[in-house]
Amino acid sequence: MISVRLSQGEHAVIEKGTEVAEPQGKLGILLPGMGAVASTFIAGVEAIRRQKAAPIGSLTQMGTVRLGKRTEKRVPLIKDFVPLASLDDLVFGGWDIHGESCYETAVRSGVLDPRQLDELRPHLEEIRPWKAVFSRKYVKRLAGRHVKRAANKRQLALQVMKDIDQFRKAHDLSRLVMIWCGSTEVFLKPSEVHSSLAKFEKGLEENDPKISSSMIYTYAALSMGIPYANGAPNLSADIPAMLELARKNKVPVCGKDFKTGQTLMKTIIAPGLKSRLIGLAGWYSTNILGNRDGEVLDEPQSFKSKEETKLSVLDQILQPGVYPELYGDYHHQVRINYYPPRGDNKEGWDNVDIFGWLGYPMQIKLNFLCRDSILAAPLCLDLALFLDLAKRAGMHGIQEWLSFYFKSPQCAPELYPEHDIFIQLMKLKNTLRYLKGEEMITHLGLEYYD
Ligand SMILES: NC(=O)c1ccc[n+]([C@@H]2O[C@H](COP(=O)([O-])OP(=O)(O)OC[C@H]3O[C@@H](n4cnc5c(N)ncnc54)[C@H](O)[C@@H]3O)[C@@H](O)[C@H]2O)c1
């Protein structure tokens, strides 16, 4: 067996063909923030368990992985290839600043058909969020009364850990993962209190304002050895203090900001343009969104968190430094407009000004009528199952192979993130092959033409 680093810095060193423990017992999925995405995810899993719907969009449920040469015709389902938790073994819990049940949230969010929700009602009514760690300092547009009180932020973290412990005992859970599905918090820069675990813990005691609510959940999860994914763009696991804690407790982490909607399209189209060396003069993206997420993002400081992750993708894919004539001077703009009548059904418009042979200009117009939470729910499922797999495989620290799911993939500090969705998918599947001791696929293919 060979020992290879999957990446530098925070990654665990795992061996090819490593022994991965089978998933025994139930897996608890902890969701701080039980809004549109979380309720669509939970309701969806229940509908799929009852065989009333298909897990469309989920790589763990419907995806396959090619093994060996093309002539071998070995293409198992991913879930048959690696030992993933079964949907029947998932149990959901979470926190929210509103005390409504998952059923009430799903109805209010207006994503799923009310008739479909009625069938699932008894199950969804049983899932009620615990009181949240919340402060309006970090999400200015929200207010709720279902909120924890404590003398300081360390006490709040301890309360979160207590919730988790009770949940684990009540459902006899053998493993847990946490996925932040809460609102986007205001933009924060990494600062002194985030720079080490000792400073962060002191900051918790002293109620440091640079420690946001989401960081308190992250700290609680990582302290308990629970893998963590960040579905929103705000700072949480991507600070040195949390990476130190993840390393200390050997916990996998990944983030951030689910890649859905307009950015998903961008990371599909941009690699295609670049592959043909088609130049880009400008990319203007705007959209209308009417759900609570849209309302939160209407506030400039929360939007700033989002804007940072949305803008970063093109530069990395197009490499203006390497291709100055093609991409050295493009204009990239992103707007989000809160427009209540549309609810969760976002409409996005992209105008892409491109140029070809001899510099002749062309345009692409993209009009995506999407459903935000329908696109995000399968990502939550895959992340929960893959993080649980990573933990059982002994992988810890940043899980760069899960970049596929994020707008702003977390990676080792000395690396640039990989945004090209096709490279991300290859990285993910090669990681699975590597775990199982299969040859990685390079797509070279010369062996067929000896
Ligand atoms: N839907 C998508 O396609 C998508 C894509 C990328 C990122 N996201 C992010 O995912 C998150 C969830 O999106 P959504 O559409 O479900 O939003 P939502 O507003 O419906 O749900 C977020 C929930 O988080 C709760 N919340 C806020 N702060 C909290 C805290 N400190 N503790 C516990 N609960 C808290 C809110 O009360 C709300 O119920 C948002 O941050 C959004 O930006 C969503």
Is the same domain home to 241 and 269? no
**Do residues 393 and 227 make contact, with C-beta atoms less than 8 angstroms apart?**
no
Closest residue by CA, ligand 1 atom 8: 232
Please report whether residue 8 resides in a domain.
yes
Q: What is the reported pTM?
A: 0.95
Q: Please tell me if the CB atom of residue 253 comes closer than 6 angstroms to any atom of ligand 1.
A: no
**Do residues 97 and 147 make contact, with C-beta atoms less than 8 angstroms apart?**
yes
Q: How far is the CA of 144 from the centre of ligand 1 (A)?
A: 14
DSSP 182: S
Q: How far is the CA of 182 from the centre of ligand 1 (A)?
A: 4
Q: Please tell me if the CB atom of residue 133 comes closer than 6 angstroms to any atom of ligand 1.
A: yes
Confidence band (pLDDT; 50, 70, 90) for 317?
very high
Residue to probe by mutation, ligand 1, list 104, 138, 142, 181, most atoms within 8 Å of CB: 181
Q: Please tell me if the CB atom of residue 185 comes closer than 6 angstroms to any atom of ligand 1.
A: no
The yes-or-no verdict on residue 7 having pLDDT over 70 is: no
Q: Which of 337, 354, 369 is the last residue of a domain?
A: 369
49: CATH: 3.40.50.720
| Predicted local distance difference test score (pLDDT) of residue 12 | 55
Is the same domain home to 116 and 179? yes
| Predicted local distance difference test score (pLDDT) of residue 293 | 83
For 161-213, write each residue's pLDDT tens digit: 999 999 999 999 999 999 999 999 999 999 999 999 999 999 999 999 999 99
Q: How far is the CA of 409 from the centre of ligand 1 (A)?
A: 18
272: CATH: 3.30.360.10
Is the same domain home to 232 and 364? no
Alpha helices in 50-182, H assignment, sequence order: 59-62, 78-81, 102-109, 114-125, 153-171
Q: Which range has the worst mean pLDDT, 2-16, 141-155, 297-311?
A: 2-16
Q: Which of 369, 391, 411 is the last residue of a domain?
A: 369
More confident residue, 5 or 437: 437
Number of folded domains that form the chain: 2
Half-sphere exposure of 233 (CA within 13 A, CB side): 24
Q: Please tell me if the CB atom of residue 350 comes closer than 6 angstroms to any atom of ligand 1.
A: no
Range of the domain at 161: 3-258+373-435
Closest residue by CA, ligand 1 atom 18: 35
Is the same domain home to 162 and 283? no
Is the same domain home to 232 and 295? no
> Could you identify the atom of ligand 1 that is nearest to the CA of residue 38?
16
Q: Got the DSSP string for 259-290?
A: --HHHHHHHHHHHHHHHTT-EEEEEEEEEEE-
